[in-house]
Amino acid sequence: MSIIKKSGLLLLICLLGLKSFAQSRSNNQLSKKEFKNGWVLLFDGVSSKGWMRSNGQPFPAKGWEIGNGSLTIVENGKGGDIVTENEYDDFELVVDFQMTKTANSGIKYFFTNYAKGGALGMEYQVIDDVGADDIQKASRLCGSLYDIFQPNNAKKKMNAIGQWNTAKIVCKGKHVEHWLNGKKILEFERGSEKYLAAVATSKYKTEPVFGMVQKGRILLQEHGNQVSFKNIKIRKL
C-alpha cells in the first residue's frame, strides 16, 4: 500500500473515530433550547440515578447494564422492570430504543397501583414485529397501546433491528399520542367511548378503569430480551 493510500486510510479512521466520539458526547444531553423549554433528562448516561425497581426496591444490582451511554437489559438477566422515582401527569416523553432480534419490551406510563388489578401502566409496545412471539394481534405491535389500540402501520417506519428508533409519548389531559421516528402513529382520548370499549375487551380489568389515573411513573419493561435505551427525557405540559 502506498504512503498516500495509508495516509488516506488513517485519516478516514480518525474521522470515523471523531464522528463516533461526537455522537457519544451528544447523547443523554440537553441542548440550550431543550433546557429552556423545560426538558429534563431521566437518564444521565452513566448512572441509575432517578431509577428504581418497580416494587420500590433500589435499582437492580444485576440484570441491567449501563455502558456506552445506554441503559441495557441483560438477556435473561432477570433484572425486573425499572421505574422513575418521580410521578408525572401531563408530559411529553422521548426515548431512544434499540432492539435485538425477537425482542419484546415496553415503555409504560401512568404506572401505578390499582385498587383492583395491581401495579400496571399504559404500555407503548417495543417489540420486533417480525420475529417476536407476542405479535398475533395488531394491538400488540411496536408502537401500539398494548392490547388496546393498534398503531397506524401506514405511517409507521421502523428502523432495522440493531439500529436506534425514537419513541415519543404525549399526554395532555385525556389526550394521548404515540410517535415513532418523527411520525404520529396513534392518538386517542382516555375515557372516550371508543377507549372504554377497547379496554373492556383487553386484558386489563381494573378498578378504577385502566388508564384513567391522574398520574404515575415511567417504566422500562424487562421481558428477558436485550433492549437498550438512551436519550430519555421528559417535559411537563
Place of cell 445506554: 70
185-196: average pLDDT: 98
Helix or strand run (H / E) with residue 34: helix 32-36
Around 10, how many Cα atoms within 13 Å sit in the side-chain half-sphere?
Answer: 7
Q: How far is CA 177 from the centre of its chain?
A: 14
Sign of the dihedral through C-alpha 127, 130, 135, 138: positive
- What angle (nearest 5°) sits at the alpha carbon of residue 45, between those of residues 227 and 234? 85
Helix or strand run (H / E) with residue 197: helix 193-200
The pLDDT, as a whole number, for residue 149 is 98
The pLDDT, as a whole number, for residue 212 is 97
C-alpha to C-alpha distance for 62 and 73, rounded to whole angstroms: 9
The pLDDT, as a whole number, for residue 7 is 55
The pLDDT, as a whole number, for residue 19 is 46
SS3 237: coil
The least confident of 7-21, 79-93, 107-121 is 7-21
The pLDDT, as a whole number, for residue 22 is 43
What are the counts of helices (DSSP H) followed by strands (DSSP E) for the chain? 3, 13
The pLDDT, as a whole number, for residue 1 is 59
Q: What is the DSSP letter of 65?
A: E
For the chain, what percent of residues have pLDDT higher than 70? 89
